[in-house]
A = this chain, B = another copy of it.
Amino acid sequence: MLVVEGHKHMAEVGFSRFSAREVAKRIGYSIGTLYNVMGSYDHLVMAINTRTFVLWTAYMQVRLDGAEKDPIRALVEGYFGFAHANRNAWTAIYDHHLPPDFALPEEHEAVRGRLTDLVVAKVAALLPDACREAAPRLARSLVATVHGHCVFDLNGSFRLMGEQAPVEMALDRVRESLAIAQGGGDLTEFVIDRGSQDG
């Protein structure tokens, strides 16, 4: 329950104002106990962030189940949707840096990898059989693409530049790359209807 309460605290105050002492206070533990149980501040935040991945993956799965017709849109909107709805917790994932000598335990890696697996599966399903083995690599690249747009959306870079539809823009980029990976057959649609620029 320590991690659950810690996750709540992270969601409420954000990474920069997060403190292990406050988590201990919230759950009725002393700071000494929290340290004995978790090991260190880094271990606590790592556990909280892995929990965020679990919630994120579940969130994505629900979105996917309700949108079989356009899973790619569901994935992109799910990425942004979770980040917006859980801003502090989501941001903490990328704000927290483990020390260089501190490798993420394999169990945590496995849990966090489920989210990527979801994307790989949907991307693979869209590719021709001939190049299906390229799906994992392309999927990772598309996730990175969406991530970049999501970061700029949440940190205000896009707002600063007057961008008003970052989700649609990310989706445009993803669809472009997917269309090309699929063989470039119907690419004219992008030329005629160039995304949603004036949305």
Give A143-179 interface residues, CB cut-off 8 Å to B. 143-149, 151-152, 155, 157-158, 160-161, 163, 166, 169-170, 172-173, 176-177
Q: Is A190 an interface residue (CB 8 A)?
A: yes
Q: Is A194 an interface residue (CB 8 A)?
A: yes
CA gap between A184 and B194 in the complex, in Å: 11
Main secondary structure of the interface of A (DSSP, over half): helix
Within 8 Å by CB of A163, from B137, B145, B146, B194, lies: B137
User: Within the complex, what minimum Cβ distance (angstroms) separates A126 from chain B?
Assistant: 15
User: Within the complex, what minimum Cβ distance (angstroms) separates A135 from chain B?
Assistant: 11
**Is the CB–CB distance between B141 and A173 below 8 Å?**
yes
Q: Is A97 an interface residue (CB 8 A)?
A: yes
Residues of chain B within 8 A (CB-CB) of A158 are 140, 144
Q: Is A109 an interface residue (CB 8 A)?
A: yes
Q: Is A111 an interface residue (CB 8 A)?
A: no
> Interface size class for chain A?
35 or more
16 contacts across the A-B interface (CB closer than 8 A): A14-B97, A16-B97, A97-B155, A109-B160, A113-B161, A134-B194, A134-B197, A140-B157, A140-B158, A144-B145, A144-B148, A144-B166, A147-B148, A148-B151, A180-B187, A180-B194
Copies of this chain: 2
**Residue in A141, A143, A170 with the greatest tally of chain B CB atoms within 10 Å:** A141
User: Within the complex, what minimum Cβ distance (angstroms) separates A21 from chain B?
Assistant: 18
Q: Is A188 an interface residue (CB 8 A)?
A: yes
Q: Is A116 an interface residue (CB 8 A)?
A: yes
**Given A113-B161, A144-B166, A180-B194, 14 other A-B contacts at CB below 8 A?**
A16-B97, A94-B155, A134-B197, A137-B169, A137-B197, A140-B152, A140-B163, A141-B172, A143-B152, A145-B149, A146-B148, A148-B149, A180-B180, A187-B187
